[in-house]
Amino acid sequence: MLFRIVEKMAFRSLIQLLLETTQVIGPRKIAVTREGKPVHQYLPLSGFEELELGYDTTDIPAKSYFLPYEENLSTWSFIGNDWTQEITYRLQPRVLVGLHACDINALLKLDKVMTREFFPSPYYISRRKNSFIIGIDHEPCQGGFCHWLGTDSVNRGFDLFLTDLGDRYFVAIDSERGFTLLQQVAVRLVTENDTADYLTVRRRIASGFAPPLDVRQLPRLLDMEFDSEIWRRWGAKCLSCGSCAAVCPTCYCYGVSENVSMDFTRGAKVKQLYSCTLKDFAEVAGGHNFRSARETRLKYRYYHQHRGFVEQYDEPKCVGCGRCGRSCLAGINPQEIIGDLLATEVPS
């Protein structure tokens, strides 16, 4: 990794330069809640002024640009007794600016699932490879708990990563294309003074987090608490709405359906992201549902986040962004559920 300093004005020019040729996506304010809190979403920008890098969080994670909620996998048509199929991947380059560490860590986890298993997803890979990522450091967001899970900082998975030093950015560069792009504007080497300022900011950010819970025992605890009343209590509240997985930056489950034209000669295979809390998630042919109870579905979502994924990839799937809890009307949230699980441990 290389480090450089870029003045804020130069960074502005950089984004404006990019906007001339490329789609640039970043946090934009779309509304204000009734409590007066601004709501941000990662959306295409039409100018630098729309970019609000001081945002707290977004409702929808950046994953929607890598695993869209709905995606056309292929279109096909019958011609006589033959048929043809067309598959298109998204190849146009795109810039995502302003991603926080949790969203980049989430992409690193998705990379493991989508690019390294037996069946890598060309749909995901084409989007990932053609996305230029500019991350940014920030004060702890409201309701996040990334520091419990070690995802409050990130060392890979981006092209550039900014830390705000007031009048300038401290930039970590993690790709050749990131380095090349920076050459388009005035950058300079890091001085001792910059490093000192950078460390001060990092320390300030780190001290802004509330004391974390120790989640190292979670996989074991989850096994022990499989029949716990915790699941009945929280499960009774679940609306089976799937919002939690939809806004989770690391949830990737999906269903595929076929959309056939009304003259039966053409069609499309459409992929739709799905969620394990939805009623028919584990329903199989013949109608049997392996997880017909709400509490079972909710429980398995937590098992995948904090146990199943650990078994497969040696790390939890959750990055602690807090989005699932914020989007849940029933107030079901990982901090409290994890807290309840930890409370079952007899203190030694």
* 89/125 Cα distance (integer angstroms): 9
Interaction of residue 242 with ligand SF4, rule CB under 6 A: yes
CB closer to other proteins out of 330 and 342:
330
Should residue 296 be labelled a site residue for other proteins when binding is judged by CB under 8 A?
A: no
Q: Alpha helices of the chain — where are they, by DSSP H?
A: 8-21, 101-115, 122-129, 176-182, 192-207, 218-224, 229-235, 243-247, 294-303, 309-313, 323-327, 334-343
Determine the Cα–Cα distance for residues 187 and 250; give it in Å rounded to an integer: 34
Q: Which of 165, 190, 278, 310 binds other proteins (CB under 8 A)?
A: 278
Six-digit token pair at 168? 């300038």
Task: Tell me: does residue 15 bind ligand SF4 (CB under 6 A).
Answer: no
307 with 315: CB under 8 angstroms? no
Region from 86-94, 192-200, 263-271, 299-307 binding other proteins, contact rule CB under 8 A: 263-271
What tokens does 304 get? 């995948």
Minimum CB distance to ligand SF4 smaller for 30 or for 239: 239
242 lies in the binding site for other proteins (CB under 8 A): yes
Q: What is the DSSP string of 216-269?
A: TTHHHHHHHTTT-HHHHHHHTT-----HHHHH-TT---EEEEEEE-TTSSEEEE
Say if strands 131-136 and 94-99 run parallel, antiparallel, or are unpaired: parallel
| SS3 state of residue 43 | strand
Point out which span in 1-9, 146-154, 159-167, 232-240 binds other proteins (CB under 8 A). Answer: 232-240
Pick 253 or 310: Cβ nearer ligand SF4? 253
Binding-site string for ligand SF4 from residue 171 to residue 210, where x marks contact by CB under 6 A and - marks none: ----------------------------------------
* Distance of alpha carbon 132 from alpha carbon 267, whole angstroms: 33
CA atoms of 311 and 112, how far apart (whole Å): 13
Touching ligand SF4, residues 296-325 (CB under 6 A) = 298, 301, 304-305, 318-324
Backbone angles phi, psi at 86, to 5 degrees: -125, 130
Tell me if 256 contacts other proteins by CB under 8 A: no
Give the DSSP letter of residue 304.
I
Chain-centre distance for alpha carbon 344: 30
Q: Which does residue 27 bind out of ligand SF4, other proteins, none, counting CB within 5 to 8 angstroms by kind?
A: none
CA distance 246 to 145: 19
Q: How far is the CB of 166 from other proteins (least distance, A)?
A: 33
Helix crossing, 101-115 with 122-129: angle to 10°? Answer: 140
The mark string for 90-129 relative to ligand SF4 (x by CB under 6 A, - otherwise) is: ----------------------------------------
CB of 299 closer than 8 Å to CB of 236:
no
153 binds other proteins (CB under 8 A): no
Q: What does 324 interact with, of other proteins, ligand SF4, none (CB < 5 to 8 A by kind)?
A: ligand SF4
CB of 280 to other proteins, least distance (A): 4
Site for ligand SF4 in 209-238 (CB under 6 A): 238
Q: How far is the CB of 297 from ligand SF4 (least distance, A)?
A: 8
Q: Which of 63, 56, 140, 42 is nearest to 105 (CA)?
A: 63
Binding mask 58-77 for other proteins (x = CB under 8 A): -xx---x----xx-------
Q: Which residues bind other proteins (CB under 8 A)?
A: 30-31, 33-34, 39, 41, 43, 59-60, 64, 69-70, 78, 236-243, 246-247, 259-265, 267, 272-273, 275, 278-280, 283, 294, 327, 329-330
Q: Which residues bind ligand SF4 (CB under 6 A)?
A: 238-245, 247-253, 275-277, 298, 301, 304-305, 318-324, 327-328, 330, 332, 334
